[in-house]
Amino acid sequence: MNTEGITSSETGAEERTQEIRRGLQKLARHDWSLWATAVVVILSLSAAVASLAVWMTAIPNDPYYQFHISQSVRGLLGLVLLFSVYTLYQQFQLRRIRVQLIDQIEVAGQEQKRAEEFRKLSIADSLTGLHNRRFGEERLAVEISRAQRSNRSLTVLMIDLDGLKGINDQYGHGAGDAALKVFAERLTSATRGSDLPARIGGDEFLVLLPECEPGGVNRVLNRLTALEIEIGPDKIAFSYSAGSADYRAGESLLQLLERADDALYASKQTRKKPQPQTVPQTR
């Protein structure tokens, strides 16, 4: 998996977040400046109108004074017009900033979605949709730490499909992939929401069973019966081998996996690997 793509997406999203934050701060400053200017202009106009009113009551009815009054009124009107133009300009600036923020938010959302897709690809098996080996082992380390702290049980189940090579040789790799997908779907249905099934290799699967009750492993395995795929008019049955190990206090991750793998190997040795069988169709 290309981790550079994930890192660059996360970095780009962080930079985009910083740009949006700066844009919001700039928008707040413009808004505050507009309100402050409006207050100053309103107070100035109020003072000017009040002064003009007092002046008009005190001056005689003379053309000279009337001319100056007319000039004062024109000045007030000019100030109102100037303030209106300034307000329109500020509104235009605010609208431009809002449009930029909307674009940045949309781009940030797309980058976040892309980063999430990269993250899913980095922890998922592309064929079966289960978690991959990397994520399975990371989760196992977490579950081991939790089991150590809380003294709770933890069971690791290893499963290996039998005869997958024979299916590939006889029916093609497409049939083998179909068998893996069918088994992954059945395995997901057979486990609890707190369990974690993962594909760790070609035909190898790992299942983490935290706080597994006695008989929990058999409950999972009993649900994995009558496994088959359809190839044209035929149904091809296949089976699996399984081995499990319960976590022991102080045991490392590798030690636990080795014991589960040894149990799987012992299970495979006690049974003969079945060849793929064609299940006759019922007419």
| 240 DSSP β-pair partners | 161
Taking the domain 133-279, which CATH number applies? 3.30.70.270
pLDDT at 155: 95
Cα distances (Å, whole numbers) of residue 120 to 4, 181, 196: 15, 18, 15
* Residue 68 pLDDT > 50: yes
Q: What is the pTM of this model?
A: 0.58
Beta carbons of 203 and 166 less than 8 angstroms apart: no
Helix axes 133-150, 253-269, angle to 10 degrees: 110
How far apart, in whole angstroms, are the C-alpha atoms of residue 227 and residue 167?
Answer: 13
Beta carbons of 83 and 41 less than 8 angstroms apart: yes
Q: Is the dihedral of CA 105, 106, 107, 113 positive or negative?
A: positive
Where is pLDDT greater, at 165 or 283? 165
pLDDT in tens, 245-273: 999 988 999 999 999 999 999 988 876 55
Give the HSE-up count for residue 96: Cα atoms under 13 Å, Cβ half-sphere. 8
Within the chain, how many helices (H) and strands (E) appear?
A: 7, 7
Cα 184–189–193 angle (5° rounding)?
110
Cα 179–184–188 angle (5° rounding)?
150
Where is pLDDT greater, at 232 or 127? 127
Beta carbons of 186 and 223 less than 8 angstroms apart: yes
Architecture in CATH for domain 3-123: Orthogonal Bundle (1.10)
The 3-class SS string of 145-191 reads HHHHHHCCCEEEEEEEEECHHHHHHHHCHHHHHHHHHHHHHHHHHHC
How far apart, in whole angstroms, are the C-alpha atoms of residue 185 and residue 233?
Answer: 22
Enumerate residues 6+ apart whose C-beta is below 8 A from 212: 153, 154, 155, 246
Q: Is the dihedral of CA 113, 119, 121, 125 positive or negative?
A: negative
pLDDT at 201: 86
Backbone angles phi and psi of 189, in degrees to 5: -70, -25
Instruction: Tell me if residue 226 falls in helix, strand or coil.
Output: coil
pLDDT at 235: 87
Beta carbons of 19 and 32 less than 8 angstroms apart: no
pLDDT in tens, 11-23: 555 666 667 666 6
pLDDT at 261: 94
Query: Which of 47-61, 93-107, 195-209, 225-239 bottoms out in mean pLDDT, i.e. has the lowest?
Result: 47-61
* Residue 29 pLDDT > 90: no
How far apart, in whole angstroms, are the C-alpha atoms of residue 186 and residue 282?
Answer: 23
Where is pLDDT greater, at 32 or 57? 32
pLDDT in tens, 159-173: 999 988 888 888 898
pLDDT at 4: 42
pLDDT at 9: 47
Domain ranges for the chain, please list them.
3-123, 133-279
Enumerate residues 6+ apart whose C-beta is below 8 A from 5: 118
Over residues 40-69, the mean pLDDT reads 62
Over residues 28-33, the mean pLDDT reads 66
